[in-house]
Amino acid sequence: MSKDERFDVVVIGAGPNGMTTAAYLAKCGLSVCVLEERTECGGACETQEPIPGVRIFPHAMLMYASPAPGFEQLELHKHGFRMNWSPHDVLTENTDFACTDGWRPITDKDKLGWAKLGGLLGTPPFTRDLMRATFWCPPHPPEVEVTDENVPYMQVYKQHQPDIWTHELREMTMLDLLDEHCETEHFKTAMAFAAWASGAAGHWEGVAIPAVTSVQLLTLPNTGNRSIPRGGLHGYFHAIHRAAVSHGAVVRTCCPVDEILIEDGRAVGVRLRETAAMGGRTIRANKAVIAAIDVHQAFLKMVGPRHLDPGVIQKIKDVSLKNQTLYVSVFHTKTPLKLNAKFASHQEAKGIGSGPGRTPQLGVYPCDSREIYYENVADVDGHKGQPVVPAERVMWFHGPPQTFDPTDCQASYKRGYISNAFEVAVTSPDLHKEGEDALDRYKAEMDAYMRKAYSQMVDGLDDANLIHHWSATGRDVEFRNTGLIGGTWCGSRHDEDQLWTNRPIQELARYRTPIEGLYHAHQTSGHPGGLCLMAIPYNLMHILIEDGIAEPGDWWYASPWYIPQHGKISARRG
């Protein structure tokens, strides 16, 4: 048997970005091979099964993708995508936010300000346009100067809600913007924290709108409220995987790539690691190689200095992939966790909860004021060590229930109760001042600290009730998913070059790379970065059409805010 195989496109990495790109390209009729290092596909859209029949979600849990064109374009409903609709609506229900002194109500001004920023008060509402403009549009070509007039979300506001449009909007922090439009401190604090965990932190300058819209993807009624895919985000990934396979993509697991083959300055294929299931084999690409893996590995290891300008190499080295990471906890208990006396009666009376089981949705705790938020940010971004914020003041959020079909064994698991995930931002391993294994060395203490933090709101985490505490440290996250950056799509630096046309390195901003035929489609380099949005693959499609690699059928539509590159094929068809 020949050692070489040949496809039109080789995709390295079967995380959500790699697999969605493969689905798009296979639908265009190209032969596509996806190569995945691990035994399973999904990247950080994974599930673990620590007990037979019990699945937990150590990473991606929240569905931020609902306005993505990929649902229609890839027809994910035909490939098994199902959503468990949550009717819980933070804008119309009298939602309260959890603070150290109990629930505090939010006001009509909070709700109306939030609704207005999210395009709900337009006639007609323009939420989908706003979200698509923020995330689902490729950066403008390098020859186009980025101005207040041509940034997609600025255009949407100007057209639909002109009183929000100001020259300052692109300079502001999310907290600045919320101070203008909303009222209560606890609402603003909760939203800023949610933005920090979603990508662009609430206190970062220049990302007010991406920060607001990333949280609105989880909270507005017309983005699905807190609905989650059946089977969690891994269920969503399955639909994408099936779409890719149904269009003919070949997916190979246990196939780590070691090298991107470059001949005469052009990427022509990849070489697998000797230990791969198809050890050492060369897989050639007629049209393109797509690196859907982290930017360091892709360029510093697989391409190497021989093929890259030293300036670009230095910029890639300068991108620290590690900012905060999330410490994730899931509990197996004898009796279900219950809200403690300070919080119980109130929420139960309102019947608030999400998923078919109406599991209480605790949201973010404690939201008292932005001082608490800043204390937590300082711990992670400043102290770079074990947390010093007292457990009573550590900010955490409670993931949605990962609902399963009633016939699924998890839904009727008899031996105890499995909680939703709880998450806290912590210093990422390689920035920890006591060394990158510190989080693991302190794991028992960290687990106890986390339980104390969650016990501010829930009862049942005591030794007598606890069967097991599954926790994933930043180190665990890294080992399981190469190149994760803690869910943060802005990466670790907060500066101009983390934004859109520059993100995070201008040479890679439009997913092209200095190597002809090599594209980069991973959260660590492409706009808009992390979260399982189907955004990088959709945006990349514009570029692959421009370069004559992909020729989609009638199902394709480009972003209305996309500006074609001079001298290239326009991705706007017809």
Ligand X SMILES: Cc1cc2nc3c(=O)[nH]c(=O)nc-3n(C[C@H](O)[C@H](O)[C@H](O)COP(=O)(O)OP(=O)(O)OC[C@H]3O[C@@H](n4cnc5c(N)ncnc54)[C@H](O)[C@@H]3O)c2cc1C
Shortest gap between Cβ of 12 and ligand X (angstroms)? 5
Question: Binder to ligand X among 59, 132, 170, 370 (CB under 6 A)?
Answer: 59
Shortest gap between Cβ of 258 and ligand X (angstroms)? 7
**387 binds ligand X, rule: CB under 6 A:** no
Shortest gap between Cβ of 228 and ligand X (angstroms)? 9
Assign 454 to helix, strand or coil. helix
**549 binds ligand X, rule: CB under 6 A:** no
185: which residues sit within 8 A by CB, 6+ positions away? 368, 369, 370
**45 binds ligand X, rule: CB under 6 A:** yes
Question: Binder to ligand X among 22, 54, 56, 64 (CB under 6 A)?
Answer: 64
Shortest gap between Cβ of 41 and ligand X (angstroms)? 6
Binding mask 514-533 for ligand X (x = CB under 6 A): --------xx------xxx-
**β-strand pairing of 102-105 with 96-99:** antiparallel
Assign 238 to helix, strand or coil. helix
Question: Binder to ligand X among 16, 69, 119, 460 (CB under 6 A)?
Answer: 16
- Tell me whether residue 7 or residue 64 sits nearer to ligand X (CB atom): 64
Q: How far apart are CA 59 and CA 76, in angstroms?
A: 22
Binding mask 251-280 for ligand X (x = CB under 6 A): -----xx-----------------------
Token digits of residue 39 = 């035994």
**56 binds ligand X, rule: CB under 6 A:** no
Shortest gap between Cβ of 255 and ligand X (angstroms)? 6
Q: How far apart are CA 407 and CA 402, in angstroms?
A: 14
Question: Binder to ligand X among 35, 106, 117, 195 (CB under 6 A)?
Answer: 35
567: which residues sit within 8 A by CB, 6+ positions away? none
Helix crossing, 208-219 with 152-160: angle to 10°? 70
Q: Are the C-beta atoms of 120 and 92 separated by less than 8 Å?
A: no
Shortest gap between Cβ of 231 and ligand X (angstroms)? 14
Q: How far apart are CA 292 and CA 431, in angstroms?
A: 24
Q: Are the C-beta atoms of 461 and 451 separated by less than 8 Å?
A: yes
- Break the chain down into helix, strand, coil percent, rounded to 5: 35, 15, 50
Total residues contacting ligand X by CB under 6 A comes to: 39
- Tell me whether residue 115 or residue 453 sits nearer to ligand X (CB atom): 453
**285 binds ligand X, rule: CB under 6 A:** no
**140 binds ligand X, rule: CB under 6 A:** no
Question: Binder to ligand X among 210, 229, 355, 483 (CB under 6 A)?
Answer: 483
DSSP string, 13-40: --SHHHHHHHHHHHHTT--EEEE-SSSS
> Which secondary-structure segment (H or E) carries 426?
strand 422-427
Question: Binder to ligand X among 28, 30, 32, 44 (CB under 6 A)?
Answer: 44
**377 binds ligand X, rule: CB under 6 A:** no
Question: Binder to ligand X among 37, 148, 497, 516 (CB under 6 A)?
Answer: 37
Question: Binder to ligand X among 8, 36, 96, 379 (CB under 6 A)?
Answer: 36
Q: In this chain, which stretch among 342-350, 463-471, 474-482, 545-553 interacts with ligand X, using CB under 6 A? A: 474-482
Question: Binder to ligand X among 484, 543, 550, 571 (CB under 6 A)?
Answer: 484
**86 binds ligand X, rule: CB under 6 A:** no
307-366: which residues touch ligand X (CB under 6 A)? 326, 328
**194 binds ligand X, rule: CB under 6 A:** no
**202 binds ligand X, rule: CB under 6 A:** no
Q: How far apart are CA 14 and CA 10, in angstroms?
A: 11
Q: Are the C-beta atoms of 148 and 167 separated by less than 8 Å?
A: yes
Shortest gap between Cβ of 30 and ligand X (angstroms)? 19
Shortest gap between Cβ of 184 and ligand X (angstroms)? 26
Q: How far apart are CA 278 and CA 269, in angstroms?
A: 15
**14 binds ligand X, rule: CB under 6 A:** yes
Helix and strand numbers, DSSP H then E, in the chain:
17, 21
Shortest gap between Cβ of 253 and ligand X (angstroms)? 9
Q: How far apart are CA 366 and CA 551, in angstroms?
A: 50
Shortest gap between Cβ of 495 and ligand X (angstroms)? 21
- Reply yes or no: is the peptide bond before residue 528 cis, omega within 30 of 0: yes
Buried b (16+ CB within 10 A) or exposed e, 357-394: eebbbbbbbbbbebebbebbbebbbeeebbbebebebb
Q: In this chain, which stretch among 14-22, 77-85, 201-209, 508-516 interacts with ligand X, using CB under 6 A? A: 14-22
Q: Tell me which residues touch ligand X (CB under 6 A).
A: 12-18, 35-38, 43-45, 59-62, 64, 233, 256-257, 292-293, 297, 326, 328, 477, 481-484, 486-487, 522-523, 530-532
